[in-house]
Amino acid sequence: MVSRLYMTNLFNSLQNQMERQNLVARSGSARAWLQSKVMNMGSTASLVRDGSRSDNTFQIGKMYFFAYDPLTKKTMPYYDRFPLVIPIEQYADGFLGMNLHYVPPTYRAKLLDKMMDTMSNKRFDERTKFRINYEMLNASTKFAIFKPCVKRYLYKQMRSRFIRIDANEWDTAIFLPVEKFVGASTGRVYSDSMRKM
């Protein structure tokens, strides 16, 4: 089990990273949510158990965590068992999404910053979402960071419901170290992603 002192230091480090990137949690509740999740992070179980955020469906342009077990995992070099995804297209059997875990936290912050121009409103409430799709992201060089993040997800391979991240918590949630890569270290994933950019 991870020590409380380690988790406190991790939380302070994450807060410092946010400040260096000129990111501020949009509400006190966003900061409190981050701290509670970091403090309870022996596993991703605390996020999965948070019933107040659990949804059966998703909306394009919002942000979610979920547990996932890829159908083709035996042929994949690596994959993330606990993606942090912004869905960008929906299909009958699943969806296309940007799993932000595939790039380092500072790049996640840069991508979100560039995507702020596409938001439906600036209130950071339940109606706030990114107005994006694959074609729009792919056509603009300012969104190049998104390329290694694009992944296809099948509903039947999901191992949890969608765990909604509210808009006022987006810039906080991207720093939660809850990625669960199988088959490679986080460092290798980041290195491969940087080459794809």
Neighbour tally for 61: CB within 10 Å = 19
pLDDT at 31 over 70: no
Domain definitions of the chain by residue range: 4-196
In three-state secondary structure terms, 11 is helix
pLDDT in tens, 145-190: 999 999 999 999 999 999 998 898 888 788 888 899 999 999 999 9
Instruction: Provide the residue type at 34 as one letter.
Output: L
Q: What is the mean pLDDT of the chain?
A: 83
Distance CA 27, CA 47 (A): 19
pLDDT at 43: 45
Distance from the Cα of residue 98 to its chain's centroid: 8
Give pTM, 2 decimals: 0.79
pLDDT in tens, 46-69: 565 666 677 889 999 999 999 999
